[in-house]
Amino acid sequence: MIEVRPYRPRFAAQVFGLPPGTRLGPAAANALRQAWLDYGVVIVRGLHYGDDDLVAVSRVFGEPELAPASERQARGGGLRPDVWVVSNVIENGRPIGSLGYGEAEWHSDMSYLAEPPTASLLYALEVSPEGGDTWFADMAAAHDALAPDLKAAIAGERINHPSSLTATGDLRLGATRPADVRSAPGTLHPAIEVHPETGRATLFLGRRRWARIEGLDLAASEELLDRLWAHATRPAFVHVHRWQVGDLVIWDNRRVLHRRDAFDPAARRIMHRTQVRGSAVGRG
Ligand code: SIN
């Protein structure tokens, strides 16, 4: 029997009673999916997942999306193409995963794609004793609380979601540093999207660095983006997750931004992430 206990009335919930990913029946799968739609972030604790469980539970939300291509190449072969390793651990002189130990800035996963992932799932295999917390911000609540003038300023605008940088500010493999934010490659998305499944309006901001608002001069774009980001990441919209081994966090990448605190480089932190293929159908 699945039980859902919210942290806030409409954002972030812990789910209890989930069977292993490879043995999820239709009732458990439906309850999990509904909790994800209702709360945007779903946390399950005390699991003993292998990658088969992680990929099986990912299928509750849709088809697995390949891990970011450049990162997959960087960490070599031998791993599943749909599981992305997030880690600071170095073995035989090579990082076993991506994002290291530094702060990861606020972002949506892979929003440089025309059809960004709908869900992201992050499973903790090893965690740092301190630091490494992951923060989630509710962009549906942020949209609803927009000041009228800010809402009017971004209505109908599109934001370029840059593709060249990871959330820790590193250049992706094969990317080059643009001379100017205006020439940063990326994908345009509406600043306000209507969630195709819940019908709620949400801010869809991607990441701040190297973003720009289409058609505005650079100074105006920077000023408007700074205002938007300051609003969107206010503590009122944020839930912070302190990890334990065996935690699985599933978030709605269309509704939720996330960031990660830095942690001690000498500590080991290993997470496996999957992402679920997006669809342009129904995007606002
Ligand atoms: C991510 O941005 O997907 C990883 C977040 C984390 O390492 O907690």
Can you give the pTM of this predicted structure?
A: 0.94
Q: Is residue 284 part of a domain?
A: no
Per-residue model confidence (pLDDT) at position 178: 81
- Could you give the number of structural domains in the chain? 1
pLDDT at 68 over 50: yes
**CB of 269 shorter than 6 A to ligand 1:** no
Q: How many CB atoms lie within 10 A of CB 130?
A: 11
Residue having the nearest C-alpha atom to atom 5 of ligand 1: 260
Q: What is the DSSP string of 182-228?
A: GG--EEEEESEEE-TTT--EEE---BSTT-EETTS-HHHHHHHHHHH
What is the dihedral angle through the alpha carbons of 272, 12, 18, 116, rounded to the nearest 10 degrees?
Answer: -50
**CB of 271 shorter than 6 A to ligand 1:** yes
Q: What is the pLDDT of residues 258-284, one digit of tens each?
A: 999 999 999 999 999 999 999 754 444
Q: What is the pLDDT of residues 99-138, one digit of tens each?
A: 999 999 999 999 999 999 999 999 999 999 999 999 999 9
Q: Is residue 112 part of a domain?
A: yes
Q: Is residue 108 part of a domain?
A: yes
Spacing of C-alpha 203 from chain mean position? 14
Distance 104 CA to ligand 1 centre (A): 7
Q: What is the pLDDT of residues 212-252, one digit of tens each?
A: 999 999 999 999 999 999 999 999 999 999 999 999 999 99
Q: Which of 54, 84, 86, 125 to mutate to test the pocket of ligand 1 (most atoms within 8 A of CB)?
A: 86
**CB of 212 shorter than 6 A to ligand 1:** no
Distance 255 CA to ligand 1 centre (A): 16
Per-residue model confidence (pLDDT) at position 71: 56
Per-residue model confidence (pLDDT) at position 95: 87
Per-residue model confidence (pLDDT) at position 282: 42
Per-residue model confidence (pLDDT) at position 284: 40
Atom in ligand 1 nearest the alpha carbon of residue 258: 2
Per-residue model confidence (pLDDT) at position 1: 82
Q: Is residue 281 part of a domain?
A: no
Residues in the chain: 284
Per-residue model confidence (pLDDT) at position 73: 47
Closest CA to 109 of 130, 134, 128: 134
Q: Is residue 282 part of a domain?
A: no
**CB of 167 shorter than 6 A to ligand 1:** yes
Q: What percent of the chain shows pLDDT beyond 90?
A: 76
**Can you give the CATH number for the domain in which 238 is found?**
3.60.130.10
Atom in ligand 1 nearest the alpha carbon of residue 107: 2
pLDDT at 72 over 80: no
Q: Is residue 283 part of a domain?
A: no
Per-residue model confidence (pLDDT) at position 55: 93
Per-residue model confidence (pLDDT) at position 130: 97
**CB of 86 shorter than 6 A to ligand 1:** yes
**CB of 134 shorter than 6 A to ligand 1:** yes
Range of the domain at 22: 3-276
Beta strand 84-87 with 270-276 is: antiparallel
Q: What is the pLDDT of residues 170-188, one digit of tens each?
A: 888 778 888 888 888 899 9
pLDDT at 35 over 80: yes
**CB of 140 shorter than 6 A to ligand 1:** no
Per-residue model confidence (pLDDT) at position 259: 98
Does 23 or 107 have the greater pLDDT score? 107
Distance 240 CA to ligand 1 centre (A): 12
Q: Is residue 100 part of a domain?
A: yes
Distance 259 CA to ligand 1 centre (A): 7
